[in-house]
Structure 1
Amino acid sequence: MSIQPSATPATPSPTPPRWAVRAAHLTTVVVLPSGLWRIALVLGCPAGYTETGFRTFDTFGAKVWMLTLSVLCELAALLTIGLVRPWGEVVPHWIPLIGGRRVRPMAAVVPAALGAAILTVIWADVPWWWTYAHEDMTPTGNLVVGILYQPLVLWGPLTAAVTISYYRRRCVRVQPVDG
C-alpha cells in the first residue's frame, strides 16, 4: 500500500454518495450465501450433494480449503467498504508503522479495479449454472446451489461502481466554473 506521510488529507474528500455506500455494503451480502453453503459442507452437511459426490468434500484438506475460501471471499468483500469509509483514505491508527497516514488514491483504485474485473470474469458464467451437468448433486441441491451462487454475479460490477465513485471523489478535481 502506498502512503503519504500526512495524518489527514490535505483537502477532505467529498462524502460518498448514498448509492455507493449501499453498494459497498451489498458486496458483503452477495458473497454470504455461497460462503454459508460452503460452511455447511465443512460442518458435514452434504448440502445438495449425493452421497458419492459429497465424499470429495468430506476430507480435512477440502474442509480447510472451503473454510479458507469462504473467509477470504468475505474479507475481500469487506475491503470494498473501505472505499466509502474514512479508513479508505487514512490508514487506521492501530495499524503498526503506517497508521494515521494518507492512502494514496491509486493504491486503493488499482487493486479494487483489478479485483472488480477479475470477479466479473470469474462469476460471469453463474447465470448459466443450470445448463451445466452436475451429476454429483441431487436435483434439489442443483437448484438450491445455483440460487445461492447467483448473487456472486453482482460482486464484480458492484465493486467496480464503488471503485469509480471512490476515484471520482479522491482523484477527479472539479474546476469551478467562472460565470
Structure 2
Amino acid sequence: METSSPIIEGKIGKGFTRWPLWIGYGAAGWSLLYGVVQLYWLLGGAGYPFKRGEMDLFAAMVTYLPSKACGLIFVILCLLGTVIGIAMQKTWRGVLRRWLILAFAWCFAAALLLFIPDISLIAVMAYAFLFKFAFNWIMLNQIICIIGAMLWILTAVAYQRRTRDACEYCGRTENGNTFLLVRWGKWLTIIAALAPIPYALTRFAWALNIPLGVDPQFFHDFSKVNSMAQITEWVFGSICVGGGILTLGLIQKWGEIFPDWFPFIGGKRVPIMLAVVPASIIAIAVTAAGFVFTFNFFAVIFHFMPADTLLLSQIWGTIGPMIFWVPWGVALGLAAIAYYYRRRGKCTHCGRGNQN
C-alpha cells in the first residue's frame, strides 16, 4: 500500500526518500568508478594512497598487502560489485543464491570500513578541538571508501528486506515483529557510553603527570618534547567523557525532547537525525581506528610484528586502552540504529506503524 503524500512526491520524486529504488545502482556505479581508479593505480598511475609511510604502527590494514596484489584484489571486487549491485537491484534470485549475494555485499562493506581507513579520521576529529586541522588525499580516499561502504550496506538492507517480503523503506512486515535492536538498545547504549572510559582515565592520569601504563622516563621525555601534552590529554579525556554522557541521550528523555532550559528550542522534540548522524559518523571513525589499534596491539604482544623493547614497555598505556574502541564503535552504531527504530513514526510507504 502506498500512502506517501502527493505534495511530497512532487517535490522529492524518486530522490533520497525513495532510496531503495536506486541504491543498488548507486553501489554498482561506485564500484565501477572506484574499480577504474584502482586499475589506473595497478597499471602504475600516480596517487596510490595505500602506503604505510610515517604511520607505520597505525597504518591501515590494506597497507600490509603489496601494491600490485592490493590493486588486483580491488579491481576484481569492484568488477564483481558492479554486476552484483545491479543484480541486487533487479532481485535476480535465480542468478545467484540470496545468501551468497548478501555475503558479498556485507563483506565488501566491512572490508571498506575496516581495512581501508587508518587512525587519521578519528585523529582529525579529536585535534579539531585543539583547533588543529589537517586533510590530504589519503583521508579523502578513506572517505570515498566509507561512502562506498554505506552504499553497499544500504543496498544489502534493501535487498534483504525485499527478498523477505518486508517493506523496503522501513523493514516492517505484516506480522509486526519487533526489531531485536530496539530490545537491546538500552544495553548497547550503556556499553557505548562506558567503553571509552579506560582511554579517558589513561589520558587524565597523564594530564596529572601519572605515567599510567608507560615507563616514567618515557613519559618524562615525551612531556618535555611536547609542550602541549597536558592540555592535549585533558582535552582528549574530556571528549571521551563528554561523548559518553551524550551517548546516554539515546535512551534518556532529554535525547528526545530538548530540556526546557535550552534557549529557543527548549521543550521541542529532538530531530532524529540530529542524534543518529553524528553518532554514526563517530561510530565509523572509532571502529576503523580501533580495528587498527587492536590488530597492532596483539601483533606486538604476541610478536607477530617486530617491535623494540621500548615499544613493548609502553604499549599497554599507549595502545592498550584503544582495544575497547571496536566494541565502543560497534555498540554506538547499533545504539544509534536502535534509537532511530524506536523513535521513527508510521511508514509513509507501507502505512505500517505502531510497531518497530
* Category of TM-score, reference length = shorter chain: 0.7 to 0.9
Query: What TM-score, normalized to structure 2?
Result: 0.41
* Mapped pair 1:88 → 2:243: no
Preserved CA contact (<8 Å) 1:41 1:57: no
Instruction: State the structure with more CA Rg.
Output: 2
* Mapped pair 1:173 → 2:349: no
Residue number in structure 1 paired with 2:237 = 70
Any idea what the Cα deviations from partners look like across 1:133-153, whole Å, max 9, x if unmatched?
4754563x4346554332122
The structure-2 alpha-carbon separation of the partners of 1:134 and 1:111, relative to structure 1 and needing over 3 Å to count, comes to farther
Preserved CA contact (<8 Å) 1:40 1:47: yes
Q: 2:325 aligns with which of 149, 152, 155?
A: 152
Question: Which structure 2 residues correspond to residues 41-80 of structure 1 after superposition, within 5 A?
Answer: 41-54=206-219, 55-57=221-223, 60-80=227-247
* Mapped pair 1:23 → 2:196: no
Letter in 1 for 2:322: Y
Cα distance between partner residues in 2 of 1:66 and 1:173: 45
Preserved CA contact (<8 Å) 1:83 1:162: yes
The structure-2 alpha-carbon separation of the partners of 1:169 and 1:134, relative to structure 1 and needing over 3 Å to count, comes to farther
Question: Which structure 2 residues correspond to residues 95-106 of structure 1 after superposition, within 5 A?
Answer: 95-106=262-273
List gaps (5 residues or longer) in structure 1.
Answer: 1-15
Any idea what the Cα deviations from partners look like across 1:72-112, whole Å, max 9, x if unmatched?
11211221211111111110111222111111112221122
Letter in 2 for 1:173: K
Between the two structures, name the one with larger relative contact order (CA 8 Å, sep ≥ 6): 1
SS at match of 1:124: helix
Q: How much has 1:49 moved relative to structure 2?
A: 2.7
* Mapped pair 1:131 → 2:304: no
Larger % of helix: which?
Answer: 2
Cα RMSD, aligned residues only: 2.6
Preserved CA contact (<8 Å) 1:39 1:66: yes
Cα distance between partner residues in 2 of 1:95 and 1:53: 45
The structure-2 alpha-carbon separation of the partners of 1:135 and 1:64, relative to structure 1 and needing over 3 Å to count, comes to farther
Percent of residue pairs identical: 27
Cα distance between partner residues in 2 of 1:144 and 1:126: 12
Query: What TM-score, normalized to structure 1?
Result: 0.77
Cα distance between partner residues in 2 of 1:31 and 1:167: 23
Any idea what the Cα deviations from partners look like across 1:112-151, whole Å, max 9, x if unmatched?
2112112111211122214254754563x43465543321
* Mapped pair 1:117 → 2:284: yes
Cα distance between partner residues in 2 of 1:107 and 1:66: 28
Cα distance between partner residues in 2 of 1:134 and 1:17: 47
SS at match of 1:48: coil
Cα distance between partner residues in 2 of 1:138 and 1:120: 24
Cα distance between partner residues in 2 of 1:66 and 1:98: 33
Q: Across the two proteins, how many residue pairs are aligned to each other?
A: 161
Residue number in structure 2 paired with 1:32 = 197
